[in-house]
């Protein structure tokens, strides 16, 4: 049975989508989903582009509101922005929650998205693995 992770940020358009894709592509036995506390309803085009560049984009990735995932069972919830940490809801079932903050690349050049992907890959993935193994 795979472990389940929820990546939570504010808009669910950049960082959390990138983290979701990286975890699903690189961490065997761990399934990730993402959501936003105030979901934008769209994936940032540069987030999609950087994931396509890595060869890990899936058409199923989309911006989701918290109410669509809050009743799911998770082994770990990770907030990736300070706003999400401060507004992280109580989940119906007890779940471990950790915070690993990344700067929002939204509105910046494409290079910022590449750097965000690299940071998430190098910093977040080892933490997820450590927490769930």
The residue range of the domain holding 28 is: 3-132
Query: Which residue pairs from 67-72 have beta carbons closer than 8 angstroms and sit at least 24 positions apart in sequence?
Result: 68/35, 69/6, 69/33, 69/35, 72/4, 72/6, 72/33
Which pLDDT does position 115 carry in this prediction?
Answer: 98
Please give the residue that has the higher pLDDT: either 16 or 1: 16
Which pLDDT does position 85 carry in this prediction?
Answer: 72
Structurally, how many domains does the chain consist of?
Answer: 1
Which pLDDT does position 48 carry in this prediction?
Answer: 98
For the annotated catalytic residues, the residue numbers are 9, 81, 88
pLDDT tens profile 112-128? 999 999 999 999 999 99
For the whole model, what pTM was predicted? 0.95
25: confidence class by pLDDT, cuts 50, 70, 90: very high
Residue 12 has pLDDT above 80, yes or no: yes
Q: At what angle do helices 15-26 and 45-54 cross, to 10 degrees?
A: 20
Residue 95 has pLDDT above 80, yes or no: yes
Residue 89 has pLDDT above 80, yes or no: no
Residue 45 has pLDDT above 80, yes or no: yes
pLDDT tens profile 50-76? 999 999 999 999 999 999 998 999 999
CATH number at residue 49: 3.40.50.2300
């Amino acid at each position: 049975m795979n472990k389940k992770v929820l990546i939570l940020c504010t808009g669910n358009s950049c960082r959390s989508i990138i983290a979701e894709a990286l975890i699903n592509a690189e961490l065997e036995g761990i399934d990730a989903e993402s959501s936003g506390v105030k979901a934008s309803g769209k994936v940032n085009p540069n987030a999609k582009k950087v994931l396509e560049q890595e060869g890990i984009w899936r058409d199923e990735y989309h911006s989701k509101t918290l109410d669509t995932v809050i009743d799911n069972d998770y082994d770990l919830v990770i907030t990736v922005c300070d706003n999400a940490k401060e507004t992280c809801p109580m989940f119906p079932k007890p779940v471990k929650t950790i915070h690993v903050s990344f700067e929002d690349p939204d509105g910046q050049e494409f290079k910022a998205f590449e750097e965000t992907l690299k940071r998430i890959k190098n910093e977040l993935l080892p933490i997820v693995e450590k927490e769930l193994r």
